[in-house]
Structure 1
């Protein structure tokens, strides 16, 4: 049994992989608790796994806190994924490979395993990342744009007459709050459609994989065809763990 965890900028998601089957899972926002307390709340009732494999973009404090709890409670070393020059058939485009977000790296490893084709990988989280992958496993590069929440928060913070209110996502907003919510959703959707289309012109057509916590909210507003893979990060961690993983 393995615990696989995806520690993002806003949330931690995890599941149990047992003999290649995804079993129990959970998620939680982070920030209000110490990492050890959060780990105890999420994993305290689990039986001891053989391995804990984690992709973390929440910083060194998250890594240290989770690693400490895992060692104290399960007596195993947490395995944190880092981006490298090459792994699992994927070759990193970055001159400094370790500076590529580990979540992007894991998602591309999963995409390579799933498609084996030219593809675009779109991860909709706090930030949205879009990466192009060639059929031979070459990472061609990518872009990062603000997610919907960040767009809204920028308006709330930097304008005088737009208060932070929940709204409806409408193309024809008839209130300021609806105009903000609709604007952020359609801006993100248009950016994803436009960027992936331009990437396909250069890299070649292929599947467009969509993942991340906001993927379901963005999907209805996209015009191109996308393959929704909500467990893409976990699939990548499973590939990284290797064919003989427990």
Structure 2
């Protein structure tokens, strides 16, 4: 069976074919802000395949456009939804559907990697933090602006503050460096506080797992962190393997193609 998985985020679409064991093959990332996005996606896909699993946090219009392209090539398309309990993971939210599917999938992927506890940090448009204990119980999380969004907001409020540029220093000596240091530093401080308080709550320090397009700027300051650039897509693969084992209708919301 030829099965593909797709993670449609706010800036990029990541996709990969699953091997016979349900593991990710090579991951491709396509920016979807360009006019040729749909054509680039078609060029990357096989002419015909069995099934696709799609997770999306993008707009309904963009999601529908991607579904249209997938429906041309795949016999079955399944849309991933947040579940209260799945694969040993239990969501802390009283209304689990309010937890973003990207955060849900990151939790699935982290738990599948091995025993926790894990502190997950996704750095994209937003900075999301989620704590999951060794038993798979999601303890909750945080949402904040990412460093890039902080820079964008400052630039929009005061055009003389540049949107890009600068390097991280504890005490910067020019404006670009000060902006990079302040915005990156705010994210680092939130991560460090979350790690400290998670250790206090659980009685042991969690492992820090980073993902998202904005991670690179922070990695040098977090030497003990693990980097998982395709963590959400790993979660879609977990979902797809469950669908393969249990029957897609048991766990997946089918989209007519």
Global fold match (TM > 0.5): yes
How far apart are residue 21 of structure 1 and its match? 4.3
- Residue 77 of structure 2 is matched in structure 1 by 78
Tell me whether 85-94 or 195-204 shows the greater mean CA deviation: 195-204
1:219 aligns with 2:243: no
> Residue by residue, what CA displacement relative to the aligned partner does 1:35-91 show, whole Å, maximum 9, x if unpaired?
xx52331242432332211211112112211111111x2142322211121111111
Check 1:172–1:9 CA distance in 2 against 1; reply closer, same or farther (3 A cut).
Answer: same
Instruction: Say whether the 8 Å CA contact 2:49–2:74 is kept in structure 1.
Output: no
User: What SS does structure 2 have at the residue aligned with 1:31?
Assistant: coil
Residue from 30, 33, 53 that aligns with 2:32: 30
Kindly report structure 1 stretches of 4+ aligned residues shifted beyond 4 Å: 243-246
Unaligned 5+ runs, structure 2: 246-257
TM-score using structure 2 length: 0.85
Check 1:49–1:171 CA distance in 2 against 1; reply closer, same or farther (3 A cut).
Answer: farther
User: What SS does structure 1 have at the residue aligned with 2:163?
Assistant: coil
Between the two proteins, the alignment pairs up a number of residues equal to 241
- Residue 57 of structure 1 is matched in structure 2 by 57
Instruction: Say whether the 8 Å CA contact 1:118–1:204 is kept in structure 2.
Output: no
- Separation (CA, whole Å) in 2 of partners of 1:32 and 1:69: 16
1:201 aligns with 2:192: no
- Separation (CA, whole Å) in 2 of partners of 1:77 and 1:127: 32
- Residue 128 of structure 1 is matched in structure 2 by 127
Unaligned 5+ runs, structure 1: none
Q: How does 1:32-181 map to 2 (within 5 A)?
A: 32-33=34-35, 38-47=37-46, 48-71=48-71, 73-159=72-158, 161-181=160-180
Instruction: Say whether the 8 Å CA contact 2:4–2:53 is kept in structure 1.
Output: yes
Instruction: Say whether the 8 Å CA contact 1:91–1:137 is kept in structure 2.
Output: yes
Instruction: Say whether the 8 Å CA contact 1:185–1:221 is kept in structure 2.
Output: no
TM-score using structure 1 length: 0.89
Check 1:92–1:21 CA distance in 2 against 1; reply closer, same or farther (3 A cut).
Answer: closer
Instruction: Say whether the 8 Å CA contact 1:15–1:26 is kept in structure 2.
Output: yes
